[in-house]
Chain A
Amino acid sequence: DGGITQSPKYLFRKEGQNVTLSCEQNLNHDAMYWYRQDPGQGLRLIYYSQIVNDFQKGDIAEGYSVSREKKESFPLTVTSAQKNPTAFYLCASSHDSENRGVRTEAFFGQGTRLTVV
C-alpha cells in the first residue's frame, strides 16, 4: 500500500548526541516536510523540500539538519545544538502543487516521539 513511513516510533537520546529520524514515502510525492509538535501546541515547520537535492528552512530550523538525496526519503537529524529536542516529530509529503498549478493536501506519517534522557 502507498503511504509515508516514519521510524522509529519511539527514540531515546542522550544529551550531546545526534540522532536521525527516518521518513520514507512511496507516493511519488515531490514535496516533503518535517514538523515538530510540543504538548498543547500545533505543528511547527522545521524544514521542507520541494525537489530532490534541495530543501529550505522552516520556522524552527536551528539545531536540525536534513538531506534529500532521493525522492522517497527525507531524513531529519536532531543535532546536539538543539537545546530542547524532546518532542513529537511528524513527517509529511505532498505533490509539488505549486509547479503544477494544483494545490493538494499533505499526507502524514505516524510520528516519532523523541525523548532526551
Chain B
Amino acid sequence: SQELEQSPQSLIVQEGKNLTINCTSSKTLYGLYWYKQKYGEGLIFLMMLQKGGEEKSHEKITAKLDEKKQQSSLHITASQPSHAGIYLCGADRTGTASKLTFGTGTRLQVTL
C-alpha cells in the first residue's frame, strides 16, 4: 500500500478558480516536499516543509504542514493553464533524508 496518499487523484478546474491538493501519511514526516511534473518529464521542485505548522508560499502556490507533521496541503489561488500538470508530494518518512518516497500524484487540468 502507498504510505503517502494524495487526494484527489485528478482535478479539473476552470481558470481563475482556487484548488487544494492533500497529502496524508500515517507516520510522522521528517521532511515534506512538493513537486510538479509535466507529462513525460522530470520533476520540478516547488517547496519543502519541515516544521509542524509551517507554511510557505511562492507566487500563487501555498503549502502547509500540519502540527503533527502527518498531513500537508497545496493550495493554488486563481489557477492558470500554466499550473496544469501532475503534483507529487515526497517525504522523508524515516529520518533518513536520503530515502525520499513519493505519493501517488494528483493530475491537474485547468480549463479556459
Task: Count A-B pairs with CB separation below 8 Å.
Answer: 78
- Are A48 and B48 also in contact (CB < 8 A) when A41-B105, A42-B6 are? no
Q: Which of A6, A41, A108, A113 contacts B43 (CB 8 A)?
A: A108
Q: Mark A98-117, 1 if CB is under 8 A from B, else 0.
A: 10000111111111010000
Chief secondary structure at chain A's binding surface = strand
Q: Which of A64-72, A75-83, A88-96 contacts B (4 or more CB under 8 A)?
A: A88-96
What separation, in Å, do the CA atoms of A100 and B33 have in the docked complex? 19
Count of A interface residues, CB-CB < 8 Å: 32
Q: Which residues of B contact A90 (CB under 8 A)?
A: 42-43
The distance in angstroms between the C-alpha atoms of A114 and B48, with both chains bound, is: 30
Contact with A103, one of B2, B30, B41, B43 (Cβ below 8 angstroms): B30
- A19-51 Cβ-contact flags toward B at 8 Å (1 or 0): 000000000000101010000011111001110
Listed residue (B30, B50, B105) with the most chain A CB atoms within 10 angstroms of its CB: B105
Query: Can you pick out 15 interface pairs between chain A and chain B where the beta carbons lie within 8 Å of each other?
Result: A42-B4, A43-B88, A45-B101, A45-B102, A50-B98, A58-B99, A59-B101, A90-B42, A97-B97, A103-B30, A103-B97, A105-B33, A106-B100, A109-B42, A111-B41
Closest CB in chain A relative to B50 CB, distance in Å: 6
Chain B residues within 8 Å of A94, by CB: 97-98, 100
* B1-26 CB contacts (< 8 Å) to partner A: 2, 4, 6
> Residue among B2, B48, B101 with the most chain A CB within 10 A?
B101
User: How long is the Cα–Cα vector from A26 to B99 in the complex, in angstroms?
Assistant: 21
Most buried by B among A33, A42, A45: A42
